[in-house]
Chain A
């Protein structure tokens, strides 16, 4: 059975390591914070100027001066720090953030990603996505395997405007975990009960399959 959004977030949380500084994008990536294993410490970075994002505030305690990059009210944790936008992107560009998780419209087997613009339809801007994908040491994309019409989102080239090139390292979808290797997409794991055949059929690029592909453990 394919995973829901929380399942995708839960699988991505397994990629976290103790001591990681992580930037989570809007949407499914934000949910990853709910599944951080209890035995490890992970510090979340928000590009609007907060290191150490805490949980949402209690009702009645929201502070308009304290928000995340999705403009939601948040709180701090012991050890949090605040800083300006240029220092925030110095952390990102300087390679100090260990992992970036973000959503995508399309990802290619070369690691290219489109995620910010649909010509004629959506002109909201790239925000910090281009800076994040160009500079992060490790980038995981969280997405559904196909779009709402059932078309593959994992393909050989992007049709929508690019956010960055040769940058995505891993993709976690509702159907599979796929690595972007030098030779293209490599199928690493499949969602519980999902066949290799189904994943192949719903992927718009060749898949490297080596031996038995294990099921994800959630």
Chain B
């Protein structure tokens, strides 16, 4: 079994206009930079993107937004991107804002074959409008649905030819639950090794969830707010 593809361009083969894709990362931390660049070059359009954040104006998802390739975003927090805000206020872009923990669980559930579940987040707020609600243990909960996508694009630190993945530090974030939730999951890694070279005890995402893997190049790993000690 070998899931290795040459590069990001080959990894996104078969992706079509109007499809839904997930993009891992939290802010700019742990985003699949190579695949984002390949998507920009592909010219694919009318995409629905599930991503916790929307990048910044000139990096990450912001690059796809600038080229109007996204018609809808499903996210929890989209600050730090003025082009996003402009497109949203002008009605060019549709956005579905979801509480962060609910978003993470919807991805996990989608990947785990759980169609729906109850959570307390958002009850009594506009997030709960039109949703089924039910009381458990004296507390009101909202019914939320599992999420899947045509493609999930994740970034891991290390991976092997069978698609097993290891994330590094807080660059794990949404990558791990998203890796489970793609019909086709693309993983880009900083270090690609032969199967057997990663200790099985240390694998975060077992290869069964990953269909295509490649070693990325030229990672910029931009820091959003570099903060140091006085």
Contact = CB atoms under 8 A, between A and B. Distances in A.
A125 B78 contact: yes
A62 B176 contact: no
Contacts of B228: 56-62, 73
Contacts of A165: 123-125
A58 B229 contact: yes
B79 A125 contact: yes
Interface string A22-51: 000000000000000000000000111110
Interface string A147-189: 0000000000000011111100000000000000000000000
Q: Is the interface of A mostly helix, strand, loop or mixed?
A: loop
Given A89-B104, A130-B99, A71 B28 contact: yes
B18 interface: no
Question: Among B52, B102, B125, B204, which residue has the most Cβ atoms of chain A within 10 A?
Answer: B125
Contacts of A166: 124
Interface string B57-94: 00000000000000000011111100001001100000
A64 B221 contact: yes
Contacts of B169: 50, 63, 65-66, 82
Nearest to A47: B100
B102 A131 contact: yes
Given A64-B29, A123-B85, A85 B224 contact: no
Contacts of A102: none
Given A71-B225, A72-B227, A82-B169, A135 B77 contact: no
Nearest to A70: B225
A68 to B, nearest CB: 8
B100 A126 contact: yes
Given A67-B27, A123-B89, A131-B99, A48 B121 contact: no
Interface of B: 26-30, 52, 75-80, 85, 88-89, 95, 97, 99-105, 107-108, 119-127, 157, 167-177, 204, 221-229
Interface of A: 46-50, 55-74, 82-86, 88-90, 92-93, 112, 123-131, 134-135, 161-166
Given A60-B228, A130-B99, A130-B125, 10 more contacts: A56-B228, A64-B28, A71-B26, A84-B172, A85-B100, A85-B172, A89-B105, A164-B121, A164-B123, A165-B123
